């Protein structure tokens, strides 16, 4: 994908506490960047997580997280984490993610996060609500 395929970008500046002994972002932080950007993506679409999902009724569960490293990200770098819905199934939503230097096209990392919508009382998957996909701008495959 190209950066232009993503309508949503969330900026970060890399903090010293996020780098490891090799002076690059420690691998676990990529998932934090992904999760934060997805949360902000939802917020940008006026989906307040606490307003729509609950551990007592319906909620999303992460079932897959993939990170692919392309180029190092270093302390004090400014990055944009780009997010879009890459696919939607009956009960799942796949977020496609790319990290780029702020305002640039160079690719630093790619990722995929898959959520499954869950009926918390029944303990099994449930259909993703149509309003959610509509508000997120999902147009189908």
Q: What is the pLDDT of residues 45-97, one digit of tens each?
A: 999 888 888 888 999 999 999 999 999 999 999 999 999 999 999 999 999 99
Domains delineated in the chain:
3-135 (3.10.129.10)
The rounded distance, in Å, linking the Cα atoms of 84 and 109 is 15
Average pLDDT over residues 26-50: 95
Closest CA relative to residue 32, chosen from 91, 93, 73, 71: 73
Report the chain's mean pLDDT, rounded to a whole number.
95
Residue 95, judged by CB atoms within 10 A of its CB (0-12, 13-18, 19+), counts as: buried
């Amino acid at each position: 994908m190209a950066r232009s395929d993503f309508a949503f970008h969330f900026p970060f500046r890399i903090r010293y506490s996020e780098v490891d002994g090799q002076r690059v972002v420690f691998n676990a932080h990529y998932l934090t960047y992904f999760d934060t950007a997805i949360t902000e993506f939802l917020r940008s679409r006026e989906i307040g997580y606490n307003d729509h999902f609950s551990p007592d009724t319906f909620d999303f569960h992460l079932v897959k997280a993939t990170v692919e490293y392309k180029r190092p990200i270093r302390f004090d770098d400014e990055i944009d984490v780009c997010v879009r819905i890459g696919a939607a199934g009956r009960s799942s939503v796949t977020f496609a993610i790319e990290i780029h230097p702020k305002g640039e096209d160079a690719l630093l990392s790619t990722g995929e996060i898959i959520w499954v919508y869950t009926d918390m009382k029944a303990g099994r998957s449930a259909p993703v609500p149509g309003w959610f996909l509509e508000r997120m701008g999902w147009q189908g495959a």
